[in-house]
Chain A
Amino acid sequence: MDKLMQKLKEQVIERLNLKDLKPENIGDDDPLFVEGIGLDSIDALELIVLLQQEYNIKLSNAEDGPRVFHSIRTMAEYITANRGAVKVST
């Protein structure tokens, strides 16, 4: 899980072009949206694409976004729970 969270931090920084941040600046449980890192709705969509491309998980219901992407840890838990599934519709 720790390894996955570390990898996710790197991927999030790269995908969202958060040039000022390093993985160690993002706490496992820091809120990613609104407060904390302060990501927005477009970032949420990019993270949905990240899940698909890197982990083969399709989040077809955008409303689940806030729960899944709340923090790096919730992302990692979601990926761990749904990995291996070719398609997950929620």
Chain B
Amino acid sequence: MKDPVFIAGLGVISAIGNDLPANLHSLSEEKSGIGEMQFLHSDHKGELPVGEVKLSNSDLADPAGLSAKLPRTALLSCVAAREALRDAGWSKTNPLRTGFISANTVGGMDKTEEFFRYFSKNANSGRLAEVVNHECGTITELVADFLSIHHFVSTVSTACSSSANSIFTGARMIRAGYLDYALVGGADALTRFTLNGFNTLMILDRDLCKPFDEERRGLNLGEGAAYLLLASGRGLKELEKKPYACITGYANANDAFHQTASSPEGTGSLLAMKNALAGANLKPSDIDYINLHGTGTQNNDIAEGTAIRLLFDPAFPKMSSTKAYTGHTLGASGAVEAVYSVLAIRHGIIFPNLRWQTPMKELPFHPVTTCLKNQQVRHVLSNSFGFGGNCSSLIFSAA
């Protein structure tokens, strides 16, 4: 039996709340955060609904004592990461080895887009200050400096599975004895780059998304950040805190089918879920809740649904996609949904799949449609499947 990896702290900021309590409240009250963009300046305003965090860059920066000129991804990341550390009771005087493994896909792209407006016309124009924080890794370093975490710092970027991968990299390092704490998760801000990118793929819903619904028309993009402070047994003792849960299973597989589309049989998804269960020493029937990747695209939902059918048939656990609340937060999604999965365990709540109406004809199951309280939630499976066939599944268990 492998050493447990405890979850000692949580932090999250998303379209449905600026901190953990606010997110939990919205989830329980079935309040979605997807709507018209306020802060992102795009020609698609009014046309494409998004899950935007309801704070401007100044509103994010000022309370934290940060510069509002920093990339929005860094600001979101700082806010959520700091909340997770405070939630856990970790301070920079903690003598044990702490690592920071973060994920993002856009880096400082919100600033780079500004730079390119001028640079694309004249190679000598555009303010260099706008591109100095372009790299994904630079965002992580900015946040690591803000938090005073220096022992080990790294950045993962595998599209939509990014922060699921950063979470289990941290778990792996704790199990192997390299770290006592790992602050893990990810962040991504909305950018014109990603909004337009997804639009070219014709997988954005012009209305509010309906994951796992027969009538689904695509995804809504969102933004956010979420972090978990993972701790070894020794680390948990030092914090004198009761853990939220443990991370007991994780797996990473590749669909190897197409650059963006998932294989119809959900090969990568199936492997990821199967191997996560095996790693956790659990059977499919042990899972009480699946937090679906459930983007609302034709392709993802049928591939993921098929993989679930193959693995869980005939007994399907309760499941939902919380992207109906937050939109698809890309590099942050694995972590945002990990936080929600842990909340499900802690509070015995199963969150609904908002706006679901019609079962998918290929699937013999459908998601939960109202918020269920007083549930026994011992084991949760959380899926994150991305472009490039990168499929990751995490399993969280009651401590």
Contact = CB atoms under 8 A, between A and B. Distances in A.
Interface string B255-277: 00011110000000000000000
A62 B203 CA distance: 10
A57 to B, nearest CB: 15
B122 interface: no
Nearest to A61: B202
A69 B261 CA distance: 19
Contacts of B258: 40-41
B50 to A, nearest CB: 20
Nearest to A62: B202
B201 interface: yes
Interface string A37-66: 000111001001100000000000010000
Nearest to B260: A42
Q: Helix, strand, loop or mixed for chain A's interface?
A: helix
Q: Helix, strand, loop or mixed for chain B's interface?
A: loop
B124 interface: no
B93 interface: no
A40 B261 CA distance: 10
B261 A45 contact: no
Contacts of B202: 45, 48, 62
B374 interface: no
Contacts of A49: 200
Interface residues of A, number: 7
A40 B202 CA distance: 14
A45 B260 CA distance: 12
B261 A41 contact: yes
A60 B281 CA distance: 48
A79 to B, nearest CB: 20
A24 to B, nearest CB: 30
A32 to B, nearest CB: 17
A62 B200 CA distance: 11
Nearest to A49: B200
A70 to B, nearest CB: 18
Interface in A18-49: 40-42, 45, 48-49
Contact of B200 (A40, A41, A45): A45
Contacts of A41: 258, 260-261
Nearest to A46: B200
Contacts of A40: 258
Nearest to B299: A41
Nearest to B201: A45
A45 B204 CA distance: 14
A85 to B, nearest CB: 20
Interface of A: 40-42, 45, 48-49, 62
Given A41-B258, A62-B202, 4 more contacts: A40-B258, A41-B261, A45-B201, A45-B202
Query: Nearest 9 CB-CB pairs, A to B?
Result: A62-B202, A41-B261, A45-B201, A45-B200, A45-B202, A42-B259, A42-B260, A40-B258, A41-B258
12 contacts: A40-B258, A41-B258, A41-B260, A41-B261, A42-B259, A42-B260, A45-B200, A45-B201, A45-B202, A48-B202, A49-B200, A62-B202
